[in-house]
Structure 1
Amino acid sequence: MSNPSPQYIPGKFYYQFLQPKYWLNWLSIILLMLLAILPWFIQRSIAHTLANLCWGLLKSRKKTTITNLKVCFPEWSEKQVYAQSKQVFHDMMLGVFETLNAWYKPHWFKGRVSIEGLEHIENAQKNGQGILLLGTHSTLLDAGGYICSKYFSPDVVYRPQNNPLLDMLIYRCRATIYKTQIDHDDMRGLIKHLKAGDAIWYSPDQDFGLKQGIMAPFFGEPAATVTAHRRLLKISKAVAIPLYFYRDGDDKNPRYKILIEPLLDQMPSNNELEDATRVNKIIEQQLRIAPTQYMWFHRRFKTRPEGYPNIYQ
């Protein structure tokens, strides 16, 4: 989505947000804030109810999720694919409440978080290196960013919302989590912060066509794979470190884990395809840890090589 308008400064309140056309937005915001103060067992119950509702109503997203899981996990039976696809919707809705808790009730996470591999970030920062944290579009949303912020100060790449009021709200809420929010179109800003030694969460796991990438295997299937991070790393002299966070155990009493892997040697290399394949393989390994905590309702394979059928028919 594009920036709502050049006249809007991210995070700034404008009196025009009080106009009647925004009143429904304000009611939604108030409702979300009220939901955020509820105990987890009630939030969890509401999340599962909403997930079942979305599963029944969002036919296209449901079909896309089932198709993606069939392609990526051919070892699963039809019954497993169906059950796991439905769980994706449940994890997505749980992620909404986890994000609300991160924004409005962060103390809820106290005692629920553990981390592995923090030394990889600390060592890179001691060397004065910027860090591109290669992550995924997890259903945990900003809750993942919050739990990371308990151990280091991450920046984030974001896409502005079309609705300027919602953009202001999300920007302000995220400002309590991330040190800096960088527009996905602001390549100069990205490079500047990497050169300054910042750690930036960047997710190269969606299909933006071949103008921004190349075809590379993802779970054995050709997928349009973003390669912009190669240029960022090369220009800024930053390092790439894989980052993954996920909910662990029973969602009645969830725990959250952060996994930080060693920096990727020789990234970027001289071979664009090898680099894209390497990053996709890392993402595959991460997603196998908690498969349903990924946004499988996006069309990851919408760009197809010549001669390949459309898998989303």
Structure 2
Amino acid sequence: MSQQPDYQPGEFQWSFLLPQYWGIWIGIVFLMILAILPWAIQHRLAKILGNTAFKHLKSRRKTTLRNLEVCFPEWSAEEVQHNARQVFIDQMIGIFETLNAWYSPQWFKNRVSIEGLEHLQQAQAEGKGVLLLGTHSTLLDAGGYLCAQYFEPDVVYRPQNNPLLDMLIYRCRSTIYANQIDHDDMRGLIRNLKNGHAIWYSPDQDFGLKQGVMAPFFGVPAATVTAHRRLLKISKSVAIPLYFYRTGDIKDPRYHVLLEPIVDNLPSEDEVEDAIRVNKIIENQLRIAPTQYMWFHRRFKSRPEGYDEIY
């Protein structure tokens, strides 16, 4: 359980003007300048930064390569290397896309489309809350902005350790999300679901077996969270898979939001079977744009006795 701050999220503190925070303020001004640069320059910078990160962030690079090796065994060694590098480039592009969503949202005008909105609208018309089962996409908050063009999403977030950074990110996100729910605020999460909200929730990371079960992910056993089963059961809400991604020429990209039909009988009586189904949904989504996912996370770090080490 994280320590709760003694101030409200997004609240300005006079202490933020102390010298210890000046570096962050300078960094924010720099980021705002980057947000108003032409896309051609943003993309060029993202490619340079992505290649630099791939070269120097050795641990993240190793994790990414290993994840792609085990999840896409059909790829050659050259394809794994190429796509791993592209993951880092897409992450940097995603940072610029997020800056655009925060500070220069007109960039996305006439670039966004959605498929499957009727699934969400039907569920909410019936008074049901919707848990949007998403992923940790390199699009970051730009993905939330894409969704917000068609419906009001809530988001589950983890507060930043630095209070100034937490305030700034919270305020930027407030222009995108209807509500931001602390990942420890289960009551708030359930309350919003009961009130018919649509909440973006990502069950795609390894938090160990105290919060999940082992289930195949791309054919590899992985610790898979099951908290969403309890949320759905308690709130009597439904689960709808959510995916957003970029396509087209990078010089003139297009962005797509995909809402799939409600996942039937979730939760069922079998938590392992539910985990298998959700992982399969995520797999199918990630195959649409494989490098637009944060493969540098150690998805297979939990290896109980009897399971081979991955990293």
TM-score by length of 2: 0.99
In structure 2, the residue matched to 1:222 is 221
In structure 2, the residue matched to 1:260 is 259
Q: CA deviation at 1:2?
A: 3.8
In structure 2, the residue matched to 1:146 is 145
User: After the TM superposition, which residues 1-313 of structure 1 pair with which residues of structure 2 at under 5 Å, given as runs?
Assistant: 2-3=2-3, 5-312=4-311
CA distance in 2 between partners of 1:307 and 1:269 (Å) = 27
CA distance in 1 between partners of 2:17 and 2:59 (Å) = 35
Q: How many residues align?
A: 311
Contact 1:2–1:159 (8 Å) recurs in 2: no
**Secondary structure of 2:156's aligned partner:** strand
Per-residue Cα deviation, 1:239-269 (whole angstroms, up to 9, x for no partner): 0000000001121111000110000111000
**Secondary structure of 1:240's aligned partner:** strand
Identical amino acids, percent of aligned pairs: 72
**Secondary structure of 1:222's aligned partner:** strand
CA distance in 2 between partners of 1:8 and 1:84 (Å) = 43
Q: CA deviation at 1:112?
A: 0.3
| Structural RMSD (CA) | 0.9
Q: CA deviation at 1:305?
A: 2.6
Contact 1:8–1:164 (8 Å) recurs in 2: no
Per-residue Cα deviation, 1:56-110 (whole angstroms, up to 9, x for no partner): 1100000000000000000000000000000000000000000000000011100
Letter in 2 for 1:276: A
Contact 2:134–2:241 (8 Å) recurs in 1: yes
CA distance in 2 between partners of 1:304 and 1:90 (Å) = 29
Contact 1:130–1:197 (8 Å) recurs in 2: yes
Q: CA deviation at 1:9?
A: 1.5
**Secondary structure of 1:46's aligned partner:** helix
Q: CA deviation at 1:307?
A: 2.0
Letter in 1 for 2:57: L
Contact 2:2–2:184 (8 Å) recurs in 1: no
CA distance in 2 between partners of 1:307 and 1:153 (Å) = 45
**Secondary structure of 1:274's aligned partner:** helix
CA distance in 2 between partners of 1:138 and 1:199 (Å) = 18
Where do 4+ consecutive residues of structure 1 move more than 4 Å? none
**Secondary structure of 2:215's aligned partner:** strand
Letter in 2 for 1:242: P
In structure 2, runs of 5+ residues without a counterpart are: none
In structure 1, runs of 5+ residues without a counterpart are: none
**Secondary structure of 1:94's aligned partner:** helix
